[in-house]
Amino acid sequence: MRAFLLSLLMWCLATPALASQSLPVDTGKVTASLVSSHDSVAPGQSFYIALRTELDDKWHTYWRNPGDSGEPVQINWTLPSGVSAGEINWPLPRTIPTGPIVNYGFEGAPLFPVKFTVDPSVESGSVITVVSDFYYLVCKDVCIPEQGRVSLPIAVGESVEDIGWKTEIDAALALSPKRGDIEGAIKKSGETLEMSFTGLPEGDFSQAYFFPYAQGILGHSNPQNVTRGADGLRLTTVPDYIWDEAVPDIFEGVLTYKQDGQLKGTKVSLAVGQSLEIGAAATPKVNANGVTLWTAIIGALIGGLILNLMPCVFPVISIKALSIAKSAHGERAKIKREAWLYTAGVIATFMLLVCFILGLKMGGAEIGWGFQLQSPKVVAALAVLLFVIGLNLLGAFEIGSGLQNTGAELTQKSGAAGSFFTGALAVIVATPCTAPMMAGAVGYALAAPAYVTLAVFMALAIGFALPFLLIAYVPGLLSKLPKPGPWMVRFKEVLAFPMFAAAIWLVWVLSLQAGEDGVLIALSAMLAVGLAIWCFKNKNLISKVIGGIAVLAAIVFPLTVTASGSASEIVSSKVNAEAWSAARVAELQAEGRPIFVDFTAAWCVTCKVNEKLVLNKADTQKLFNDTNTAFLIADWTNKDDVIAAELAKYGRAGVPLYLVYSNNSVSPAVLPQVLTYDVIKDAIAGE
């Protein structure tokens, strides 16, 4: 019995020396050890040993390409005779944003498996000892270089697996990227880097990402924009410094995507200077905002209905409502005809604007929805037109049916052209209100193929015109409208004042776009309108000539307005506000400060409401001060291609857009279009 117990004790003491896991080494922020797939191996056999690293919470180490900074995990082996080691099977990396930079690495307890082979000449019954000298840079708020040495003795004889560690190592190997059937190419064009891939497996590539093996190929901190075609995939991003030097024929890396809900990676070789045909862009199923084609169409239809209640469009559509009320108890065929003409004006104008935008985009221009109010000439002309309509509603003048039908006397008769142009005018003043209401759908539509864009905006146009079609075709609705009478004269006169209010608002917008000179020109055009009205009331020839000259001046004056750049007054009017730029964002992130970015415009009604009710309030300003949050304003009142491109990055075609960079993120949180104090507070806190 004593001999048996002594033998058992000696066996237990000897087991750790030949176990499949080494003694752990605590290097500070990481506990490292070697683990083996086998307790013992046979001569001529291959097996795996992995460096296992257990990192402290929220600390990370780095992949073979660490990204913008850092150093990769390094393992140096000391091996006995007859034993050889292969390369590290790297786990799939993830992006680790740190301030304005992005690194590639790991958290948790990553395994770094390496394949070992025992030569057949190694004697059975011997013990091989594998020694690892390892080094890694471990980072959180600070970076600490750590290193250590571990050894693992393994018996040579009968092959015996360690089920526990072999299962874990096999799982790590299964997730490690392998080469598949994907073909790749990479091409630099100016300041754009394009990577194309074909032969893709089944999977979700909506958030595909390419991790290059070498540094300097692409800007790690820049987003990789995904375009999925029928035959492949394209990623576009920003090139890095290596393109200024002699580049090789091939770049290697890993393309990641999702398959059955799990992150996968495939090793890919990219042919330099080439581009693969990925086929026509597939109908987008989901974009960054989770908008699909059908949700965009339905949302556009509902948004068009709601758009009739927006303050920027109400003064114009109220004219049409008055016209319908006048004829509600008259000939039904005439009512239907005018409703369809109004609808035709709405649809034609929407489609014209969309086709114009698509044409400019095909030419490489950066342009967004509501672009017409970025032109001081258009703003000045609209201000004068609304002023003229207001005077007409007050009964200040009556002119011929030709001009009546183009907008000046849209309320006097219900002619065909009058109905059509009322719809057209309503669309022109309504489009700036569209983007805030349905930013995701509009951004989705303008980023999608042309046929998708047309479908979404057709739904928006139908929704916008639908109320008047319903009134014309539902007898019950018409019967509930009051019969024509003296009240309509008073109501028509009341409608003049929303017109004047809209004209005043447009003049204010013009003051930010074109400065005091622009305001002077617009007011001079309005003065010319007043002079023309007075002159045409006189019958003599001189008065008519002067009146004609005044009309010509009222038309020409708005066309002479030019942007002065004074829209920056929006920034200067805010306490502690700065002008937005991508460079300024990077500087502030390097300082570790939270950032609130307000993409706005003077003609954006939703923007002004958010400013009045939330952003300009004392508690919000105090929040910014207490948290040292930088307040940046991207003013899109005038056309700005840089801001338009930035909006497009977030799937938006118009303002407002609100971004918050918390002090521990490189990618911002996108806030709702309708702001509250709590929404801003939680975003700054990173919640």
Q: Domain with 592 in it: what CATH number?
A: 3.40.30.10
Same domain (yes/no): 421, 550: yes
Segment 246-266, tens digit of pLDDT: 889 999 999 999 888 788 999
- Which DSSP symbol is given to 78? E
Same domain (yes/no): 537, 492: yes
Which has more confidence, 459 or 333? 459
Strand 94-98 to strand 669-670: parallel, antiparallel, or no bridges (unpaired)? Answer: unpaired
Same domain (yes/no): 486, 374: yes
Same domain (yes/no): 102, 245: no
Same domain (yes/no): 541, 576: no
Write down which residue in 503, 529, 559 finishes a domain. 559
Is the pLDDT at 495 greater than 50? The verdict is: yes
How many beta carbons lie within 10 A of that of residue 579, not counting itself? 13
Is the pLDDT at 663 greater than 90? The verdict is: no
Chain length of the chain: 687
Q: Give the CA angle between residues 331, 332, 337 to the nearest 5°.
A: 105
Same domain (yes/no): 496, 625: no
Between 182-191, 359-368, 392-401, the lowest mean confidence (pLDDT) is in: 359-368
Summarize the confidence of residues 274-291 as an average pLDDT.
Answer: 61
Q: Does 37 reside within a domain? A: yes
pLDDT the model gives residue 562: 78
The CATH number of the domain holding residue 61 is 2.60.40.1250
- Measure Cα distances from 459 to 392, 428, 464 in Å: 33, 17, 9
Token pair, residue 214, equals 């070498």
Is the pLDDT at 408 greater than 50? The verdict is: no
What does the alpha-carbon distance between residue 161 and residue 157 come to, in Å, rounded to a whole number?
12
Q: Does 331 reside within a domain? A: yes
Residues 6+ apart with CB under 8 A from 379: 373, 506, 509, 510, 513, 561, 603
* DSSP SS3 for 376: helix
The CATH number of the domain holding residue 252 is 2.60.40
Q: Are 350 and 461 in contact (CB under 8 A)?
A: yes
Same domain (yes/no): 258, 375: no
pLDDT the model gives residue 61: 94
Domains in the chain: how many in total?
4
Is the pLDDT at 270 greater than 90? The verdict is: yes
pLDDT the model gives residue 362: 53
Q: Does 539 reside within a domain? A: yes
Is the pLDDT at 145 greater than 60? The verdict is: yes
267, amino acid identity = K
Is the pLDDT at 647 greater than 90? The verdict is: no
Is the pLDDT at 658 greater than 70? The verdict is: yes
CB burial of residue 644 (10 Å; 0-12, 13-18, 19+): buried
Same domain (yes/no): 107, 57: yes
Residue carrying the six token digits 């609705």: 477
Same domain (yes/no): 242, 298: no
Is the pLDDT at 360 greater than 60? The verdict is: no
277 CB-side CA count, 13 A: 2
Give me the domain span that covers residue 453: 293-559
pLDDT the model gives residue 283: 43
Same domain (yes/no): 187, 119: no
Most confident of 112-126, 356-370, 434-448, 582-596: 112-126
Between 19-28, 43-52, 637-646, the lowest mean confidence (pLDDT) is in: 637-646
- Measure Cα distances from 678 to 96, 215, 520, 635, 687 in Å: 27, 41, 42, 24, 11
Q: Does 327 reside within a domain? A: yes
Is the pLDDT at 9 greater than 50? The verdict is: no
What does the alpha-carbon distance between residue 173 and residue 114 come to, in Å, rounded to a whole number?
10
Write down which residue in 559, 578, 613 finishes a domain. 559
Write down which residue in 504, 538, 559 finishes a domain. 559
Q: Does 478 reside within a domain? A: yes
pLDDT the model gives residue 84: 95
Same domain (yes/no): 161, 224: no
Q: Does 3 reside within a domain? A: no
Is the pLDDT at 187 greater than 50? The verdict is: yes
pLDDT grade for 153, boundaries at 50, 70 and 90: very high
Q: Does 11 reside within a domain? A: no
Segment 231-241, tens digit of pLDDT: 899 999 889 88
Same domain (yes/no): 510, 450: yes
Q: Does 284 reside within a domain? A: no
pLDDT grade for 364, boundaries at 50, 70 and 90: very low
Segment 577-615, tens digit of pLDDT: 888 887 788 778 777 788 999 988 776 767 777 887 888
